[in-house]
Structure 1
Amino acid sequence: MKRLAISLSALALCAAASAQVTITEPWVRGTVPQQKASGLFMRIDAEQHVRLLGGSSPVAGVVEVHEMAMQGEVMKMRALSHGLEIAKGHSLVLKPGGYHVMLMELKQQLKAGDRVSVTLTFEDVASKQRFTREVQAPVTALGGAQPAPAAHHRH
């Protein structure tokens, strides 16, 4: 009975942790054949202080959090090895030219109209507990920007 109580308490903690973020307006940029990387963009609203650490996807070998930033007069991209913090009560918009999730080592071309499944990994900053959120992101036309509002998919 004691083991069951521990399992139920861990399950309750995971359920509470996953309610800490709301993800809206996800989308992935389409690719050309043989292209090995693309970006996932979205809005994340945090009810608690959390950190986006990365994730996984059946279409990509690597899923990392990246940022684009100007260094002098050159735009550079880099992985955020410690993730990206989102303060309690705040929103963060991941968009081209800024913070985003990189889908690398793509296993297939991402075509307009497809949907990409990504499991994002977060960490509650206070408790250090990790939790995941599943995102189903529509793929935009090659070279396209965020889909029209009617195409947004909320989670």
Structure 2
Amino acid sequence: MKRLLIPTALLMLAGCNQTSAPEALAVVSVSDATCRPTLNGRDVTGCFVTLTASRNDRLLSVAAPLAGMAQIHEMKIEDDIMKMAELRDGLALPAGDAVSLKPGGNHIMLMGLKQPLVAGEQVSITLNFEQAQPMGVRALVVQPPVAGADHVAH
């Protein structure tokens, strides 16, 4: 009887300790990473990127060695006034949806730049997510197109 009880007990304990495989971390793909060149005498600029997460995730923070501070910003119009503010809770990344940080909308704000950004250079930025692993990105410094510039008047 003892011979049967010990293996049975061990099998029961093994069953109790069974855990499901850990859920895979979100994977975030990055495209179109750019930053604006800085204006003369300014130490701030905006950076833009498109993020697509494999699972629901959130961009929580950003960092750039070239900047004293980096934040995720929201730009919106309230009472006919354009307002910009930090997204303190980060930016939601719904599974499979491309989320664009772009001029005139949500963007990355680099402040306290240690040197001006010049077109053609690259900027290192680290993106920190709620679930996905931190990701290093190289953003090209370019002048974004002016809204409506692709429209040709007839």
TM score, norm. by length of structure 2: 0.75
Q: 3-state SS of the aligned residue for 1:119? A: strand
The structure 1 segments of at least 4 consecutive aligned residues displaced by more than 3 Å after TM superposition are: none
Gaps of 5+ in 1: 1-12, 125-129, 147-155
Instruction: Look up the match of 2:141.
Output: 139
Report Cα offsets for 1:38-82 as digits up to 9, x if no partner: 111011011011111122111101111001001010110000001
Please report the RMSD computed on the Cα atoms of aligned residues, expressed in angstroms.
1.6
Report Cα offsets for 1:8-39 as digits up to 9, x if no partner: xxxxx8xx53x610000100000134312111
Instruction: Give matches, 1:95-110, under 5 Å.
Output: 95-110=102-117
CA distance in 2, matches of 1:34, 1:132: 32
TM score, norm. by length of structure 1: 0.74
CA distance in 1, matches of 2:63, 2:76: 24
Instruction: Look up the match of 2:88.
Output: 81
Instruction: Look up the match of 2:124.
Output: 117
Identity of aligned residues (%): 39
Gaps of 5+ in 2: 1-21, 146-154
Report the AA paired with residue 116 of structure 1. Answer: V
Who wins on radius of gyration, i.e. which is larger?
2
Report the AA paired with residue 56 of structure 1. Answer: A
Report the AA paired with residue 135 of structure 1. Answer: V
Report the AA paired with residue 73 of structure 2. Answer: H
CA distance in 2, matches of 1:97, 1:20: 27
